[in-house]
Structure 1
Amino acid sequence: MERAGRAGGAASTRHHPCDSSSTRRSSSSSRSLFLSERGHRIMSYTGILQDGFSMYSANKFDEARNPEGIINLGTSENKLSVDLMATRLGQPDMYHVDPVTLCYGDWRGHAFLKKEMARFLTDYCKAPRPLDSENVVVVNGCGSLFTALSAVLCDPGDGILIPTPYYGIIDEDIRHYSGVRTVHVPLSGVPSEDETHPFQLTVPKLETALEAAKKEGMRIRAVILINPNNPLGDIYPADALLSYLEFAKRHELHVIMDEIYMLTIFIKGPKFTSVLSFDRLPDPDRTHVMWSLSKDFAASGLRVGVLYTENRDVIRALGKVAYVHGVPGPLQYSVSQILRDREWIDRVFLPTNHERLRKAHRYMTDRLRAMGVPYLERASGLYVWADFRQFLQSDTFVAEKDMWIALIKSKVLISPGQAFYCPEPGWVRLVFAESMTRLKLGERRQETTVSAIEETVIPVRANVFVIVLLNGLLVTLRPDLLCVRACVWGAVGSSGGMDRLESALPKLKLLTNSAQTSKGDQPNASSALPSDSLEDLIGLLRKQIHSSDWLEQNKAEHFAKSNPEVYESFQQLLKK
């Protein structure tokens, strides 16, 4: 699963994640005598998300029974609000045994659930008119929906476009049974001049990926879009979303719209737009929307997923395979009761859940800022997409995986970027939807581990701590490691911030050498600052500034909160 990284990385360690040398390669070349070719392929398939969860499952943290177990900050589950869901499911009105629910029914879902689901989606997706319950298909989770949809929309060997990074398990959903391949639309953490944010999806990128696939002789049948996005947390603006749908119509591609996080938007501001809210869809027969209770209702174990499509052929085809993906009748009744209880949803669950998510998100992002780690400031999801490149031994996916393994050995599980087919090494997804006790302990374990890794990246023997204002930037040097941290004083654009920082470089080097000498460290072959190490760090900082919300996160008020002692020293310097 190794792909191109920073300039200077060893070429031999760079591979596309779909190469035979990826982490999804069979651990053994021996063939089973009992399995088909497909069975052997399925048995041999491994992935980082599944591997990590397996290690966690075998050694789960428990405050009383296993305090040295693994804390899971890698799996996107909402552990913060399971108590709310458990309490509601335990109420007397939730359990009802009826002969109808104990017998075979419509494989696409009982009529009572489909009607309630249509009403629910009409309201929460802000549909311009009531949605038709006959367009609803209910199965046991969105994974099953991806599996079934790929089977009825594609033939073996066909491709589906999907922007990277994305939730990597989708590959397993569509490949195991159907033999359908994902075709990546790579998004960069460094925005181009005409882009507004990192990892921005644009129609030209979709066009480029489609044309490249056609040149290789692959037939592309669909495009998968995740909104809100996993793992980025991005929420597509309505105009961008419409442009993606129009692109798909031009090329007669199905759009599989995953809106599984649509109610997990916990910060006011960004507006979520469901494709079901459009008055007219560019191509309604090729637009299919999926949703589930797993994320929005902290119920990943219920295994209930829903598809809404106006294409009657797709509905009939899904009906033929839905019997192997069915949801138990009594559970369908309980889900319909949940969806019907708008008083509980709107006044109890959603506001409480959002407040808990805000608090946990605030804690995690405060810790990341204190560590000097850039991340994407987003309002949705159960996770933060963070830039851990400064902790890599080299700019490769091998180094990224080494960091992931080191963290697991320290008993904390995260999800590295390669699990999401991120085209750049060093990004990670950190799940914050965990109890505060476990979240704090997991963060401490994580910080200890990556700090130990960081100390081996660019070791410097300078025993100094310098705080100085250079060209409007507050710069600090840590004593154990030359580590540039800059706090932009006031609102400064990213290009202006970098210009100031780079023009301060000669002064900063001069100051560092002077401070070393004043502390009695005589420059020599073993202790002198490497001539290019500061430029390397500046280069890394440049990447971070251009590929994340670093400048916004490192304004003075944020720096003062997370680094009060340094901030106070800076204030004293200003008075001199």
Structure 2
Amino acid sequence: MSSDEQQPASFAAINLFLLSTATFLYKLSRNSGRNRNNGIFESEDGASYRIGSRGIECLRPALPYLGAFIKCCEDPCHPKTNPSGYIALCVAENKLIQERLALRLMPENCSGEAFSDTVAYCYSNMLGLPGAREAVARFLTRKFLRSGENSEHKMVSDVNNQAQTKVDPQHVVLSGGAASIISNILFALCEPGDAVLIPAPYYNAFENDMKLMAKCVPCPIYTSDPVKGPSPKELDSAAAAVVKRGLCLKVVLLTNPNNPLGVIYRRGVMLDCVKWARSKGLHTICDEIYALSCHQKNNAFESILKILDNDLRDDVHMIWALSKDFGASGFRAAFLCTQNVGLLNALGNLNIFTCVSHPIQLVTSDIFNDDLFVDSYLEEARLLTVKSKAICERKLDQMIIPYVKSEAGIFIYADFSAILPQPVTFSDEGRFSEILQNIAHVVMTPGSSQRETRPGMFRICYAWVSEEVLEIAMERISYIVFKIRKLGTRYRWDDISEKYLSEVTTCGISKSGSLHALSAIQ
């Protein structure tokens, strides 16, 4: 074919391509127009909503077991008035100590003073009121940076000229919960699609915190021994997996003490992680939200503030909140300590969406400036927590269910895999979880929702209910375990019917309404 004959054919191909492209763009614009005008999008469950695509992304619950937890709230167990009700062992919240906090706030007229101060009604620095930032900085210095030192009470006045021995209020940000801090700092530090490494298993809601606004990608760090924490070699492997996925790694997130394991990462592990991150030019976020919920007075926990001698540079960021250690998640008060000036300036704008209300900031300041109350409150919380933990451990030991020996936090990580069909799968874990929820009316956190690699692991949160209700919950679980073991090793899920487990919701309750042991009904 001559060049003259080829030219019309080429033009025809180009024209056909342009026509196809124009048609596609025209249809796309019409569809986009309809979506903008009608605002109707379809969710994953097939339902139609008159919201935008970003709203659709927000429809997915932050926690996969949220529906089961709501049942616990709507129909809660009470030993006398509702003994067969639902029991939530899936919420890491300390309700054992809340009454003591309420007693401190009311007689002291702390809340009244918070509303009588005119600053409560006015705009201020979105990073926090000056007095609140000072109170938080002093608290972090005393309980985190200088924890364990005998001179705690006098050191604040002694070290005013030593930058390494006190937290600068200008490095403190107050925000509406640890989740909002994580979301905001990732929004400021990362680009959409950047990866964040987290040792697995981990708190499931981290994924929601990272994805919803910051559009970051959580990537698990799988370790040979999760209790010890990640080694540099395991960090290398996790980073290589990120690169293989075509993602840009930007942050390492460490929870210490750990959730759901309840263990404390030692100084060497934390230092290795920070050094590794710095060698790669990454940020390290240290979530220390359970720092003051250690079970022993003399414990191994050291804050990253103390480990690094308060020299965080611009790449280490520490988070703590009132939610866990103070049992005040409803206050929505969390605190970031960072020395990254650019991040602080960015949060001065971002935090307008998540700042803590001024009355709560004033209440927080009042509490943090009362050293005697803080120390006695945390000690009482420790004693109550350890008591409930002992109930949980005693029943697990009786069931011969292994668990991680926790050092901190308000939960136990237990292994129920031995009573599930072998070889156990996550499907089996799900069926066991359904039996607990639907028949035993007990809700625990399954390991599959925490990026656990071993099927059959469950987190048991023991501080959300009273000791009496916890006893009932553990009796119900004991009954389920006993009945499953009675079937032998070759049982099928079809063998476990509601009829077979008919007595489960009466476990732990006698006809008089008092507690009794499982052995009495076996």
Distance 1:239 1:199 in 2: 10
Structure 2: gaps spanning 5 or more residues: 1-41, 147-163, 492-516
List aligned pairs for 1:348-359, cutoff 5 A. Answer: 348-359=376-387
**What residue number does 2:446 align with?**
416
Distance change (3 Å), C-alpha of 1:268 and 1:67:
same
1:43 match: secondary structure = coil
**What residue number does 1:295 align with?**
324
List aligned pairs for 1:217-366, cutoff 5 A. Answer: 217-280=246-309, 284-346=313-375, 348-366=376-394
Distance 1:121 1:281 in 2: 11
List aligned pairs for 1:4-23, cutoff 5 A. Answer: none
Query: For residue 72 of structure 1, what is the amino acid of its counterpart?
Result: A
2:184 match: secondary structure = helix
**What residue number does 1:438 align with?**
469
Instruction: Say whether residues 1:32 and 2:32 are aligned partners.
Output: no
Q: C-alpha displacement at 1:281, in angstroms?
A: 6.7
Distance 2:295 2:228 in 1: 21
Query: For residue 143 of structure 2, what is the amino acid of its counterpart?
Result: Y
Quick one: which of 457, 461, 481 aligns to 1:450?
A: 481
2:458 match: secondary structure = strand
Contact 1:245 1:282 in 2 (8 A): no
Distance change (3 Å), C-alpha of 1:117 and 1:282:
closer
Contact 1:32 1:40 in 2 (8 A): no
Choose 1 or 2 for highest CA Rg: 2
Instruction: Say whether residues 1:425 and 2:461 are aligned partners.
Output: no
Distance change (3 Å), C-alpha of 1:237 and 1:298:
same
Greater shift in the superposed pair: 40-49 or 147-156: 40-49
Q: C-alpha displacement at 1:360, in angstroms?
A: 1.3
Quick one: which of 99, 118, 126 aligns to 1:99?
A: 118
Q: C-alpha displacement at 1:246, in angstroms?
A: 0.2
Greater shift in the superposed pair: 87-96 or 139-148: 87-96
Superposed CA RMSD in Å reads: 2.2
Structure 1: gaps spanning 5 or more residues: 1-25, 192-196, 461-561, 565-576
Q: C-alpha displacement at 1:330, in angstroms?
A: 1.1
List aligned pairs for 1:5-84, cutoff 5 A. Answer: 28-30=44-46, 32=48, 34-45=50-61, 47-84=63-100
C-alpha distance after superposition, 1:408-455 (max 9, x if no partner): 121111111112111111111111223110110111111112322333
Distance change (3 Å), C-alpha of 1:44 and 1:356:
closer
Q: C-alpha displacement at 1:74, in angstroms?
A: 1.2
Contact 2:175 2:355 in 1 (8 A): yes
Q: Normalising by structure 2, report the TM-score.
A: 0.78
Distance 1:313 1:68 in 2: 54
Percent identity of equivalent pairs = 30
Contact 1:74 1:415 in 2 (8 A): yes
Distance change (3 Å), C-alpha of 1:393 and 1:47:
farther
Distance 1:98 1:269 in 2: 39
Contact 1:162 1:223 in 2 (8 A): yes
Q: Name the count of aligned residue pairs.
A: 429
Q: C-alpha displacement at 1:267, in angstroms?
A: 2.0
Contact 2:145 2:166 in 1 (8 A): no
Q: C-alpha displacement at 1:55, in angstroms?
A: 2.8
Distance change (3 Å), C-alpha of 1:60 and 1:217:
same
Query: For residue 447 of structure 1, what is the amino acid of its counterpart?
Result: S
Distance 1:180 1:145 in 2: 14
C-alpha distance after superposition, 1:279-298 (max 9, x if no partner): 54786201000000111111
List aligned pairs for 1:83-162, cutoff 5 A. Answer: 83-95=99-111, 96=113, 97-127=116-146, 128-162=164-198
**What residue number does 1:475 align with?**
none
Query: For residue 453 of structure 2, what is the amino acid of its counterpart?
Result: P
Moved over 6 A (4+): none
Distance 2:444 2:194 in 1: 32
C-alpha distance after superposition, 1:457-491 (max 9, x if no partner): 5159xxxxxxxxxxxxxxxxxxxxxxxxxxxxxxx
Distance 1:248 1:70 in 2: 44
2:126 match: secondary structure = coil
**What residue number does 2:230 align with?**
201
Contact 1:225 1:256 in 2 (8 A): yes
